[in-house]
Structures are given as C-alpha cells and as structure tokens.
C-alpha cells in the first residue's frame, strides 16, 4: 500500500506541476505587451489599395427618396520625405482613382456627373510624430484638409507612450476646423483587441470608434448663381473599425473603417420658403498594404486579405 500511495502522490505532484506550468504560460501570453510607434525611414514608399463602398440615401429635388451606391478603388502611395531630430516624419500622401462605378443612380445625378472619376488625383502632406499624432496637414485646399480631419483623423490613433497589452483602452480628442462653420472636436475611443499574424507581419489589432458633430453653411456665389439663397447643414459623423499595426516594423498593414454620416439640410429659398431634407451616408473602406519600396532593396509585395 505504501508503494501505491507514493506512486499516486508522485502522479498528483506531476499533474500539479504540469497544470501550474500551463497556467503560467497562459498568463504570460495574456500579459504580452508591445510598444506601438511608427518606424518608417526617409525615402521609403508604401503602396496601399483602397476599396471604397458608399451607400447614399437622400431626398431629391422632386421630394422623392433615392438610394444609390458608389463603388471606387484607389491606389495610394505614402512617401517618407524626411525625419527630423524630434522624430517627426514628413509624409507625402497621393491618391489616384483606378475604378469608379455608380449603381442605381437617378438620371439627374448622372447628368450632373459629367465625366468618370477614373484617373482623378489628389493628395496632401502630413507631419506626423512617431506616436501617430498628426501635427499638421499641408494642402492648398481647406476642404481637403477638413475631409481628412472629418473622416480619417479619428482612425489615426495617438499611441500611448508605454507598452500595452490586449484589453488596454484609451481615448483622445481632435480639434477640427470647419471651413464654413465653427471649430469642433472629434472624440475617439481605442482598445487593443488582440494580436494576429497577417502575411509576414505580427500585428496588434486596435478597435476604434469616433464621433463628430458640426454645422456649416453654403451660400452660392455670384459666379455660380442658384435657386436658393443659403443652405445650412447639421452633420453627425461616426467612424469605427479596426487597425492592424505591425508593431515590429512600425507600420499600418490594414485598416477597415465604416464612416456613417447623417446630414440634416435646411435650404432657404429666394421666395422666403424653407425646405428640410435628410441625407445618410454609409462609407465602408478597406485599406490594405500591397508593396514596400526601400532604397537599395528590391520591392516587396504583399497579399493582405
């Protein structure tokens, strides 16, 4: 009996040790922490594919309700122009429309849209800190800067200055200049969700959800007269999705973003009447890395799902 008892004791002890080792291993995995920061270097170029699907619901001038879809693909290139002593990067962002399709569009929309958007180019210059903070948007078009602030700044997190683990949450506010309205603030919450491997990258998955409300106006110019005197817009925009950030290389691999906009419009007509209308946009965007070009090295291409 004593031998059997000792044998059982050794078995139980071995099982207990195995259990404790598994527990420690699991706890260690849960406690994995990473420091998130951008690490791109001057003269590097990052190429992304942008797939954009927009559903637009609006009131027509005939008081009827319309819904159309707008599908568009873009090629985006980000060139790292410079890196200063404070590790602030100057980035040139350029976009070109490669595919453009309207579905279920009424005739008056097709008539107003005189030509295809394929081949249209636009871009801007950003100054960005290593933690992702955009300190300046450089463009000659204030509306383009506002569009960046309205749609993309909420999905551009300012990373914490310390290592974080899954479950960590943080929030931040972004000041936004409205071209024809009062300045406002966008508020966004972030959460480190998990770690995943995409292609050759170990990525931190970051959930985000931002919200922005603003008012602006439009008054027709003498050069382009209209049937109304003034339009006022009250807009609410939410932006939510996920960022897949390669923490070892310090770059964004993929981002999904659903931008939902509700716009209440009041039109003041020349006959002193008013008209109310409502527009709803749902813009689902997927941005995926396709290539990296580094000086003195062959280009590397990627197939990001």
Q: Which of 72-86, 109-123, 232-246 has the lowest mean pLDDT?
A: 109-123
For residue 126, list its beta bridge partners.
Answer: 91, 137
pLDDT of residue 22: 47
For residue 100, list its beta bridge partners.
Answer: 72
Assign 7 a pLDDT band (cuts: 50, 70, 90).
very low
Contact 205, 244 (CB under 8 A): yes
Share of the chain above pLDDT 70, in %: 90
For residues 114-142, average pLDDT: 89
Check whether 271 has a pLDDT greater than 60: yes
Cα-based distances in Å from 240 to 99, 123, 163: 24, 23, 23
CA atoms of 25 and 206, how far apart (whole Å): 24
pLDDT of residue 6: 52
Domain 31-301 has CATH 3.30.1050: no
pLDDT tens-digit readout, 43-85: 999 999 999 999 999 988 788 999 999 999 999 999 999 999 9
pLDDT of residue 109: 87
| Residue scoring higher pLDDT (168 or 60) | 168
For residues 184-201, average pLDDT: 95
pLDDT of residue 29: 47
For residues 143-167, average pLDDT: 86
Check whether 23 has a pLDDT greater than 50: no
CA atoms of 219 and 47, how far apart (whole Å): 39
Check whether 15 has a pLDDT greater than 80: no
Q: Which of 219, 243, 303, 233 is nearest to 266 (CA)?
A: 233
Share of the chain above pLDDT 90, in %: 63
pLDDT of residue 139: 79
For residues 291-305, average pLDDT: 95
Q: For residue 72, report the phi and psi dihedrals to the nearest 5 degrees.
A: -145, 140
For residues 23-48, average pLDDT: 81
Q: For residue 48, report the phi and psi dihedrals to the nearest 5 degrees.
A: -130, 150
pLDDT of residue 24: 46
What single string gives the DSSP state of each residue in 165-195?
-TT-EEEEEEEE--TTS--EEEEEEEEEEEE
pLDDT, mean over the chain: 88
pLDDT of residue 5: 53
pLDDT of residue 63: 82
Assign 128 a pLDDT band (cuts: 50, 70, 90).
very high
How many other C-beta atoms are found inside a 10 Å radius of the C-beta of residue 27?
A: 9
Strands (E), the chain: 45-59, 65-83, 89-103, 121-128, 134-138, 169-176, 184-198, 201-218, 228-246, 251-269, 274-293, 300-301
Cα-based distances in Å from 145 to 149, 176, 197: 6, 9, 33
| Residue scoring higher pLDDT (62 or 277) | 277
Tell me the domain boundaries of the chain: 31-301
| Residue scoring higher pLDDT (32 or 139) | 32
């Amino acid at each position: 009996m004593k031998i059997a008892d000792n044998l059982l004791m050794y078995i139980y002890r071995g099982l207990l040790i195995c259990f404790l080792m598994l527990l420690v291993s699991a706890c260690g995995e849960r406690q994995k922490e990473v420091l998130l920061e951008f690490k791109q270097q001057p003269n590097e170029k990052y190429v992304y594919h942008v797939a954009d699907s927009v559903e637009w619901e609006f009131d027509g001038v005939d008081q009827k309700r319309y819904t159309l879809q707008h599908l568009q693909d873009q090629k985006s290139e980000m060139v790292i122009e410079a890196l200063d002593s404070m590790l602030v990067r100057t980035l040139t962002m350029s976009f070109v429309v490669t595919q453009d399709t309207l579905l279920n569009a009424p005739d008056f929309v097709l008539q107003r849209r005189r030509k295809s958007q394929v081949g249209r180019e636009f871009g801007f210059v950003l100054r960005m800190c290593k933690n992702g903070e955009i300190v300046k948007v450089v463009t000659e078009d204030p509306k383009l800067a506002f569009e960046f602030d309205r749609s993309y700044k909420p999905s551009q997190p300012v990373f914490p200055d310390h290592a974080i683990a899954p479950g960590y949450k943080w929030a931040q506010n972004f000041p936004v200049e409205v071209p024809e309205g009062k300045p406002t603030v966008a508020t966004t919450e972030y959460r480190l969700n998990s770690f995943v491997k995409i292609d050759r990258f170990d990525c931190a998955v970051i959930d985000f959800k931002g919200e922005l409300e603003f008012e602006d106006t439009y008054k027709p110019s003498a050069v382009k007269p209209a049937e109304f005197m003034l339009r006022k817009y009250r807009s609410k925009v939410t932006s939510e999705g996920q960022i897949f950030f390669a923490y070892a290389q310090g770059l964004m691999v993929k981002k999904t973003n659903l931008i939902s906009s509700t716009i209440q419009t009041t039109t003041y007509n020349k006959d002193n009447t008013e008209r109310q209308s409502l527009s709803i946009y749902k813009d689902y965007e997927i941005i995926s890395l396709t290539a990296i070009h580094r000086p003195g090295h062959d280009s590397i291409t990627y197939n990001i799902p």
